[in-house]
Chains A and B, each alone.
Chain A
Amino acid sequence: MTREIFISGEHQRRDGDAEPAPRRSSGAVRVGVPLSAVPLIVSCNGIQSALDPAGEEARQVATLFWVMTVGGLAIWAGVIALALYASRWKRGAITTEAAGRLIVWGGVVFPVTVLTALLAYALWLMPSLRPFGDQTQAGLRVEIVGSQFWWRVVYHRPDGSSIVSANEVRLPLGRRVEFSLTSSDMIHSFWIPALGGKMDLIPGRTNRLSLQPTKSGTYRGQCAEFCGRSHALMAFPVVVMQPGDFESWLAARASASPGVVESRSAETLFLRHGCGDCHRVDGTQARGTSGPDLSHVGSRLTIGASLMTNDAETMARFIAHSQSLKPGSLMPTYLDMPSADLDAISAWLKGLQ
């Protein structure tokens, strides 16, 4: 592994943080210096890594992982060394009695002891990892609805108002947030490895998940339960912001984007091509709900549920070629749309900041 690859990897990490969100300063330093000699492939870092925790649950689980990994490797090495000794290296045979004692100590006493300790620790950890209800300090509740192959994200504020968004989750740093998870079609699973474990979205059921981000930055979440043809393309950026920034960001999303009025002709085109049947754009006649809410789509980091970076060009490409970019999604392909219309609509959507 060469230094170049490592650098390019680091470079791409920065690219991911396209939004001028707070930098993950400590992470960058930690990665940059001590691991610079270590090949990238064995690094544990990444915007979607459970071993690069930026949340309370992920941190505890990563610790549990390292403890178990070190212990597990030691046990593995011990067992294999013993087996090799027994089959290859030893000279004389031991007595049957001694062999019987080995079974008792190695096969019974040792595993029972280790397992009891591990199990007790994990069981003790379980309820504290995901406190719900009364123990939740934050008033923010985020509702996630999974659909093939995108996420509806609804922020329910303590005052009872709610803000609808899609395919991007923003969270306030240090606050515990409760997610309620449902699905409109198949079983999906909501997973932000950097913050914590996953939870399924099951039609007919409402599941809960509780996460507490501890490091600001941009991460990536992804659907973890196979949900159909484009299951691989159902991801989302996660932005952890300073609580103040988050509040003002959220407040800005409570009303229509100023970009709506930038181009009334584009808006008309948008409606004429039927986009409004499935998508909602606040401040227009577009009120559809079977597709992602586009009221502020221009300000999102990605489009197509983390499929591509967000600019007018990718927007146009997605509209024209959605089925080849995202096979099996409900979004129809607009190959025949005149390119002038396409450009106008894309530019207008990108302007919905």
Chain B
Amino acid sequence: MWRLLPKEVESLWTLFTAPVVWALHFLLSYVGAAVFCEKPGLLGEDFDNLRVAIGLITVLSLAVIGVSALLAWRQWGFGTGDPPHDDPTRRDRLLFQGYATLLLSGLSFVAVIFTALPALFITECLR
């Protein structure tokens, strides 16, 4: 696996991977639930199916965020280079990116779990 993915990604975009996963997870959950409740029958009748579907995309999203976190952790040298990462070197810039990405992965992880909580507690299309 380590060989497949480049060790140092020369882009600012990696920083946004985990939050983008959160956004997609949020959007899918919201749109899925809205369509399920507004158009009965189109996505099935049983609310539990919706809850299971949200559960599945949650697991998937958490897995992707996990990978992003792992890559970030590696870029951060598995935690060997402590912050503040403020030397004017390419190495510190990479460590900074890795560390910040790891933190964002953590936040996104929690946020995805938060977004999935409603599926645990709400059991029908009440309005």
Name A210's closest neighbour in chain B (CB-CB): B126
Name B118's closest neighbour in chain A (CB-CB): A123
B126 touches A124 (CB 8 A): no
B122 touches A123 (CB 8 A): yes
A127 touches B123 (CB 8 A): yes
B26 to nearest A CB, angstroms? 15
B84 to nearest A CB, angstroms? 8
A130 touches B126 (CB 8 A): yes
Number of interface residues of B (CB under 8 A): 13
Tell me whether B79 is interfacial, beta carbon within 8 Å.
no
With a 10 A CB-CB cut-off, give which of B83, B84, B110 has the most chain A CB atoms.
B110
Chain B residues near A120: list those with CB within 8 A: 117, 121
Tell me whether B42 is interfacial, beta carbon within 8 Å.
no
A208 touches B114 (CB 8 A): no
> B110, B121, B124: which contacts A124 (Cβ < 8 A)?
B121
Name B122's closest neighbour in chain A (CB-CB): A127
B115 to nearest A CB, angstroms? 10
> B83, B114, B122, B124: which contacts A119 (Cβ < 8 A)?
B114
B110 touches A112 (CB 8 A): yes
Chain A residues near B12: list those with CB within 8 A: none
B63 to nearest A CB, angstroms? 21
Q: How far is the CA of A130 from the CA of B121 in the complex (A)?
A: 14
B83 touches A127 (CB 8 A): no
Q: How far is the CA of A130 from the CA of B122 in the complex (A)?
A: 12
Indicate whether A123 sits within 8 Å of B126 (C-beta atoms), given known contacts A100-B83, A112-B110: no
- Residue pairs across A and B with Cβ atoms less than 8 A apart, 15 shown, are A112-B110, A115-B114, A116-B114, A119-B114, A119-B117, A120-B121, A123-B118, A123-B121, A123-B122, A124-B121, A126-B121, A126-B122, A127-B121, A127-B126, A208-B127
**What residues make up the interface of A, taking CB atoms closer than 8 Å to B?**
96, 100, 112, 115-116, 119-120, 123-124, 126-127, 130, 132, 207-208
